[in-house]
Structure 1
Amino acid sequence: MKAAILSHGYGGQNTAYSFIARSLVAHGYFVASIQHELPTDVPIPTVGPPQVVRRPNRERRVQNILFVRQKLRKKYPRVDFGQLLLVGHSNGGDPAMLFAQEHPALVRRVVSLDNRRMPFLRARQPRVLSLRSSDQVADSGVVPSPAEQRRFGSAVVRLPAIIHNDMWDGATPTQQQEINGWITRFLAQ
């Protein structure tokens, strides 16, 4: 059985992406959704360059993923935690990209729902799908150019009917279906 780890956006809850989790389970994935922040945690910085001042938050999230992966490998030895599917929204997508850069041998695919700060891995493996909202723009250098997308086999899909804050369980059924449809097509490749 394949393994997927979901990472919520900043201030979100690990249960806020159940429509994606259910779809992944239907496609044969064992799904873990990590609660990265607690109400008692210090808020992420809002002053200074986000790529710099929020890096410790992303690094903590990478450590969370490694910790959860290790614990689940022991508890569920039949699940393949060696070729992860990472799915992350916004500030959950940034650590997914960082994890893939730091531990590419552990990741088979990354699905980013509108990560904005952490540059995509510029490599053929792991494969990357990024679903981009209609209202948020990633920082310069985050999303690969069309030539880089072709070179590395990454897919960047613009969703004109979906804004950044629609990419969770609060999305309409039509929006959820569109998001899951793109993820399903990506997993079938």
Structure 2
Amino acid sequence: MKYLKVILAAFMFVAGAVSAEEIQDKSRNRSIPVEISYPSNISNCTVEKKCPVAFLSAGYGVAHTKYIFLTEQLAELGYMVVAIRHELPEDPALSVEGNLFESRSENWIRGARTLNFLKDELESRYPNYAFNELLLVGHSNGGDISAWLGNEENLYVKSIITLDHRRVPLPRKKEISILSIRGSDFPADKGVLPTVQEDADYDICVIKIPESKHNDMSDDGPDWLKGKIAELVKNYINGVGCNEQSKA
């Protein structure tokens, strides 16, 4: 049995492999389901030259395992991807009436705490990965959670990619680079996206995909949209400028 455990543990760290588990946050008595995808070039990840890490937060009601098109793209780019299930059965439902920013803030605060906990928990397990330079990726409510954490005081969030999040203002911080991919069917709330002047002052790139739908930005969406999102993410990480991306 011990020999079998060693084999399974080794398999978890094979390039391109995926492992699923529930991580216990004892301080909150909370069990957090995650799926960890390892980079395609895993042999390049060392303590001296750490590989990058992305935390992927799903849209509300979408399984955290339904973004394979993104995790595969990020793995090709050398990232470990931690896909996180934020909503548990015992959590209150996301509000749909009244001042949504106020009523949903409890959800975003809880999600930000989860991301912060996972950063500390996984950093000790994976010394070959750069948890102090995190990329946060989030769809819809997962993007709101990512933006919320980005707005908090921390030194480890270095970049954020949101897929059509609509409620929480993007951070206006010179130390955080941001790509926000927008759908075409719903607008963001006032103040969520930067003004023209803020575009110039901060490293924020906003790109709208024509004829794309908010609810299609997962594995269940059309292939052309998943391909476009993956292309935008790849170009952003490879340093292609916002103007060049917008023209593509």
TM range (shorter): over 0.9
Native 8 Å contact 1:124 1:154 kept in 2: no
Native 8 Å contact 2:173 2:202 kept in 1: yes
Aligned equivalent of 2:243: none
AA partner of residue 62 (structure 2): G
- The secondary structure found in structure 1 opposite 2:226 is helix
What is the distance in 2 between the residues matched to 1:40 and 1:162? Answer: 33
In the TM superposition, residue 167 of structure 1 has moved relative to its aligned partner by 0.6
AA partner of residue 182 (structure 1): L
In the TM superposition, residue 47 of structure 1 has moved relative to its aligned partner by 2.2
1:58 to 2:105 alignment: no
1:187 to 2:237 alignment: yes
Structure 1 unaligned regions, length at least 5:
none
- 1:15-35 deviations in whole A, cap 9, x for unaligned? 011110110011000110011
AA partner of residue 20 (structure 1): L
- TM-score scaled to structure 2, two decimals? 0.74
Per chain length, whose mean CA-contact separation is higher, i.e. which structure has more relative contact order (CA < 8 Å, sep 6+)? Answer: 1
What is the distance in 1 between the residues matched to 2:219 and 2:196? Answer: 30
- 1:60-116 deviations in whole A, cap 9, x for unaligned? 000110111111111111111000000000100011011111144111110010111
**Matched length:** 189
Aligned equivalent of 1:45: 95
Q: Calculate the aligned-residue CA RMSD, in Å.
A: 1.1
Structure 2 unaligned regions, length at least 5:
1-50, 240-248
Candidates 49, 52, 55, aligned match of 1:2: 52
Aligned equivalent of 1:21: 71
Extract structure 1 runs of 4+ deviating beyond 6 A. Answer: none
- TM-score scaled to structure 1, two decimals? 0.96
Native 8 Å contact 2:176 2:203 kept in 1: no
Aligned equivalent of 1:146: 196
